[in-house]
Amino acid sequence: MAFLSVNINKIAVLRNSRGGSEPDPAVAARAALAAGCHGITVHPRPDQRHIRVDDVARVAAVLGAAEYNIEGNPFAPPRGSYPGLVELARSVRPAQVTLVPDGDAQVTSDHGFDLARDGARVAPLIRAFKDIGARVSLFMDAGSDGIERVAELGADRIEIYTGPYAHAFAAGDASRELDACVRTAERARACGLGINAGHDLNQKNLGALKRAIPFLDEVSIGHALIGEAIYAGLAETIRNYLAILGES
């Protein structure tokens, strides 16, 4: 069964919209783990518009043996209290670091790495995260011609950007985008890479993806899961996702 990592950024967005300390991402992480998820994802950005630097350590403190996945742009320099992704990871030593080429102007991550352009820059950063003891995953577009390059650079996994698949699924015909995800996963597997997936996955589209990629290692889901939990409750929503991953 693929691991479910719950992204709790939206909890921090809600807190920050009002100020103060509630709802608390660390408490949300504890509740998600109690419901059975395998790990927690946070995606701190330099502008700290949702997960803040202090959240990263507070969430780490409640995880126990569960997996901690920290996402972020490895190229973003320190700013204010944000120390940079390498130093942030070094402070808590997560099980996994997912590198994402996003900038402040992006509302959310919307593309994977172009390794023909950025491979030389990302290679020493991959080594730095692995020296910390973290597994390293690179956020990659389905159909990218850089999948083999990920393995050459020393990363451990890819995370397939599933936004285009999710949008096509919602429109009623996901066959082309799903095939792109499958072919990308197969190429990654042939290189010895693990396969994660994330972005816009939900209870409607996750099952088809998991059936098509039965060797999927992990999915990271936040926006849809937290939105669905507003109506059904966090524990029930997480159990629904676990059932989808187990039955597919």
Residues classed as catalytic: 43, 71, 199
Residue 51 CA to residue 38 CA, distance in Å, equals 20
Q: Write the burial class of residue 213 (CB in 10 Å: 0-12 exposed, 13-18 middle, 19+ buried).
A: buried
